[in-house]
Amino acid sequence: MILAVLDDSPAALDMLAFTQSLGRQVEVATFAAFDTGDPDDLAKRGVRTLHRITHDELADRAPAASGDALAQLIGHLRPDGVLAVSSDGITEAMAHVAAVTGLPLATNCVEVSTGDPWLLTRVRGGGMLLEESELHVGAADSAASMALLTIAQGVTGDIGAGPVESCEVREFVPDLSETTQARVVERASRGSGMTLATAPVIVSGGRGVGSAEGYRVLEELAERLGGVVGCSRVATNNGWRPHSDQVGLTGTKVTPDLYLACGISGATQHWVGCMDSKVIMAINTDPEAPLVRRATYAVIGDVHEVLPAIIEELNARSKT
């Protein structure tokens, strides 16, 4: 049996169809706290059993608790494999499952064959390469007792199974008393308006900006150009910007009309997040920086001089 772990992300039902296309018996697990998994809908999709993980405190505990709960369910059901949707929350929960159980986790799979061994193709490097690998699953000493996989978003399959009369709901109440103490203490919604994912212009800053205060000029320019501020991981690591501003492999992938990269070297992990921008302009003191060489346009200079000069020019033009 394969357990498909779903959440309420748009990719979840694609992932279910992908799992069903593998030709094994599939049962579904969801978290009641996140109000996912409608049994009638699952019955229409040929699912006979839904394990609903239920715990009063699950919604307010961080993903470690979801992972702990999932590990307990898996220990109880002993499926051959657990396939999960690769949304941020579930991926993090699956990482905790792997850590708690000692099972190997293969993330971002796009093709899976459940023979002996399991053959996996997975996306790595932010979409820059496909890795083919084998996972030995079974009773042999060198094999994992079960496979833990996350399936890349957008990957789907042909369900094959027709609807069934009903989907039986089995409540599973985990014991969270021993779990990590991390909790959600505040939920802040993004302010209305544009996000990194929707902005036509992104003025993005890296180490070259130098400080949190240094981003004021980027904010001013972003506002003038009708865009938002982005940043590299150095800026988030230094506490200059929130993680929601980070562009890249572990941030947001962006596709604006104009990406203005200020004092950003263009490491691969940043590049994969901005490479689909229509126009990239780099401002950097180093003419050899990777982003300067890949950009559509580059200005070789100090961000603290170039950005005020651009704003001054925009001001002058708006007066004429």
Ligand X SMILES: Cc1cc2nc3c(=O)[nH]c(=O)nc-3n(C[C@H](O)[C@H](O)[C@H](O)COP(=O)(O)OP(=O)(O)OC[C@H]3O[C@@H](n4cnc5c(N)ncnc54)[C@H](O)[C@@H]3O)c2cc1C
CB 121 within 8 A of CB 92: no
Map 80-112 to HEC letters.
CEEEEECCHHHHHHHHHHHHHHCCCEEEEEEEE
Q: Which is nearer to ligand X, 24 or 207 (CB)?
A: 207
> What DSSP string runs through 100-164?
HH---EEEEEEEEE-SSSEEEEEEEGGGTEEEEEEE-BSSSTTSBSSEEEEE-TT------S---
**Contacting residue, 37, 206, 230, 256, with ligand X by CB under 6 A:** 206
According to the binding rule CB under 6 A, does residue 230 interact with ligand X? no
Residue with Cβ nearer ligand X (136 or 304)? 304
Task: For ligand X, give the closer residue by CB, 36 or 195.
Answer: 195
Q: 304: helix, coil or strand?
A: helix
Q: 227 or 273, CB closer to ligand X? A: 273
| Nearest distance from C-beta of residue 303 to ligand X, angstroms | 4
* Among residues 44, 100, 269, 294, the one that binds ligand X under rule CB under 6 A: 269
* Single-letter amino acid, residue 303: V
Q: Would you say 150 and 90 are in contact if contact means Cβ atoms under 8 Å apart?
A: yes
Give the whole-angstrom CA distance, residue 11 versus residue 57: 25
Q: Does 150 bind ligand X (CB under 6 A)?
A: no
Count of residues near ligand X by CB under 6 A: 27
Which region, judged by CB under 6 A, interacts with ligand X, from 28-36, 42-50, 109-117, 227-235? Answer: 227-235
CA–CA gap between residue 47 and residue 26 (Å, rounded): 7
Among residues 146, 248, 258, 280, the one that binds ligand X under rule CB under 6 A: 248
Q: Among residues 37 and 206, whose Cβ is nearest to ligand X?
A: 206
Per CB under 6 A, residues contacting ligand X are: 206-208, 232-234, 246-251, 263-265, 267, 269-270, 273, 283-286, 289, 302-304
